[in-house]
C-alpha cells in the first residue's frame, strides 16, 4: 500500500532533507549545524544518524533529490512535440515553480564543493546532463531561426543563473508569487531570444 521505501521510513528521510535544504540555504553547508536541522523537526541530532551516515550524505541526498526532480522535468519537456521557444518557456516556468514551491529554494545553489570528490563527480555529471538538455533546446531554436544566433552555452548559463539566483532574493511573504516570477522570467529570458517573424531579422543594433 505504502509507496516503495528502500530502507527506513522514506518519508522521514524527506522531511529531514527539506529541513536540511532550508538550513543550508540560510546558513550554507558549513554554517548550518546538524543540531539545527534536527531541532527544526523536533528531533535530536543523534537521531539523524539513524537515517544518514553523516552530514555530507545529507547534502548529497539534497542534490540528488533536486536533480531527480529537475531531470524528470527536462525529460518531460524534451518529449513534447512543440517549438523550441515553447519548450524553453515551459522549462523555465516549471523550474521556477519547482524551485520555489518544492525545493525550498535551494536546488543547485548550495555548496557543491563541500562534497568529497567521488560524490561530487556524480552530482556534476547529472547537473551537466541538465545543462546539455537546456543547451540542446536553445541550439534547436537557433538552428530553426526562431532564436537570435549566439552561443547556446552562454545563453544556457545565463538562464540558469537568473533562475537559480531567485533563491537569493525570493521572499514567500513578498508581493510576487512564484507563478508571477516564473511568468516574468519566461517573458524576459525567452522573449528576449525570440525573433519576431519566423525568418531572419538581423540581431539588435549593438555590436
The residue ranges that bind DNA (CB under 7 A) are: 8-9, 12, 32-35, 43-47, 49-50, 53-56
Q: Which does 33 bind (CB under 5 to 8 A by kind): DNA, its own copies, none?
A: DNA
In the complex with DNA, the residue whose CB is nearer, 9 or 151, is 9
Stretch that binds its own copies, among 10-18, 52-60, 73-81, 106-114 (CB under 8 A): 106-114
Q: Identify the helix (H) or strand (E) that includes residue 48.
A: helix 45-51
Which of 69, 77, 101, 125 minimizes the C-alpha distance to 178? 101
Q: Which three cell numbers stand for residue 194?
A: 525570440
C-alpha–C-alpha distance, residues 118 and 60, integer Å? 11
Interaction between residue 144 and its own copies (CB under 8 A): no
Site map 53..92 versus its own copies, x via CB under 8 A:
--------------------------------xx--x---
C-alpha–C-alpha distance, residues 148 and 133, integer Å? 19
In the complex with DNA, the residue whose CB is nearer, 47 or 200, is 47
Interaction between residue 142 and its own copies (CB under 8 A): no
CB of 134 to its own copies, least distance (A): 13
Interaction between residue 191 and its own copies (CB under 8 A): yes
State the DSSP string of 111-173. Answer: -GGGS-HHHHHHHHHHHHHHHHHHHHHHHHHHHTTSB--S-HHHHHHHHHHHHHHHHHH--TT
Q: How far apart are the first and last CA of the chain?
A: 62
Residue 8 three-state SS: coil
Stretch that binds its own copies, among 11-19, 34-42, 99-107, 184-192 (CB under 8 A): 184-192
In the complex with its own copies, the residue whose CB is nearer, 6 or 199, is 199
C-alpha–C-alpha distance, residues 193 and 141, integer Å? 9
Q: Which does 35 bind (CB under 5 to 8 A by kind): DNA, its own copies, none?
A: DNA
Residue 194 three-state SS: strand
- Footprint of its own copies (CB under 8 A): 26-31, 85-86, 89, 111, 113-114, 148, 150-151, 154-155, 157-166, 168-169, 176, 181, 184-194, 196, 201, 203-206
Amino acid at each position: 500500500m505504502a509507496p516503495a521505501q528502500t530502507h527506513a521510513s522514506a518519508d522521514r528521510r524527506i522531511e529531514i532533507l527539506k529541513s536540511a535544504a532550508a538550513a543550508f540555504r540560510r546558513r550554507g553547508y558549513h554554517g548550518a549545524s546538524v543540531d539545527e536541522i534536527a531541532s527544526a523537526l523536533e528531533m535530536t541530532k543523534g537521531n539523524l544518524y539513524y537515517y544518514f551516515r553523516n552530514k555530507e550524505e545529507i547534502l548529497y541526498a539534497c542534490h540528488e533529490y533536486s536533480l531527480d526532480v529537475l531531470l524528470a522535468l527536462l525529460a518531460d519537456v524534451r518529449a513534447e512535440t512543440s517549438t523550441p521557444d515553447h519548450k524553453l518557456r515551459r522549462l523555465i516556468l516549471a523550474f521556477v515553480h519547482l524551485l520555489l514551491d518544492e525545493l525550498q529554494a535551494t536546488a543547485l545553489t548550495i555548496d557543491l564543493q563541500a562534497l568529497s570528490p567521488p560524490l561530487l563527480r556524480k552530482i556534476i555529471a547529472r547537473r551537466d546532463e541538465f545543462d546539455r538538455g537546456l543547451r540542446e533546446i536553445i541550439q534547436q531554436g537557433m538552428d530553426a531561426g526562431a532564436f537570435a544566433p549566439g552561443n547556446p552555452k552562454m545563453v544556457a548559463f545565463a538562464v540558469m543563473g537568473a533562475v537559480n539566483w531567485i533563491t537569493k532574493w525570493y521572499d514567500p511573504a513578498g508581493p510576487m508569487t512564484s507563478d508571477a516570477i516564473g511568468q516574468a522570467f519566461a517573458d524576459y529570458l525567452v522573449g528576449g531570444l525570440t525573433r519576431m517573424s519566423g525568418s531572419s531579422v538581423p540581431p539588435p543594433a549593438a555590436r
